[in-house]
Amino acid sequence: MGKQDAILAELDAAAPALRRYARALCVGAPPAFADDAALDALQRVAERIRNSEERPVDAAAVRRLAYAETTRTATRKLRANPAARIGLSSVPVLRGLAELPAEERAVLLLVTLEGLGYDEAAATLGVARETAIARLMRARAALGALESRPAAHLRVVK
């Protein structure tokens, strides 16, 4: 197995996590909508790797590429089809998550759901670390305001 094959195998192994992330990112949309976004993103990244447009050096780099493309694809699909979010939950935290700006929702999910550190989340989204932290703080504050008590369960420090 060559290096490119190993990288593509890493990408394949990331598929379940990318589907979970896409479903959370597309909160309120049907699961198939989010799954399509994740699969489209996986196919794009795999194609770029096969064509040598992208040359990730390790599993972390593959993961960053995949999350970045999933974020772009899901956000683009949601903007193109706002009616996809018809199933918004009555659960306050899910509704609050759906109401967050896409940039804040993405960094919140990358850090809290996917377990990325601040630096890795910032690199994935193509922003400075400080920008990612500011977005994360705004997202946590917005979700924390939904409850009468502080949202301590949303605090993950890396």
Number of domains in the chain: 2
CATH code of the domain in which 141 resides: 1.10.10.10
- Give yes or no: residues 124 and 105 share one domain: yes
CA distance 130 to 127: 8
Global confidence as pTM: 0.84
CB neighbour list of residue 64: distance below 8 Å, 6 or more residues apart? 56, 120, 123, 124
Among candidate residues 87, 109, 139, the one where a domain is terminated: 87
- Give yes or no: residues 75 and 104 share one domain: no
Would you state the structure tokens that stand for residue 138, as one six-digit string? 């705004």
pLDDT band at 153; cut points 50, 70, 90: low
Task: Provide the domain limits for residue 24.
Answer: 1-87
List pLDDT tens digits, range 55-78: 888 888 999 999 999 999 999 998
Degrees, nearest 5: CA angle 35-78-86: 85
Among candidate residues 69, 87, 105, the one where a domain is terminated: 87
The highest-confidence range among 83-92, 103-112, 147-156, by mean pLDDT, is 103-112
Length of the chain (residues): 158
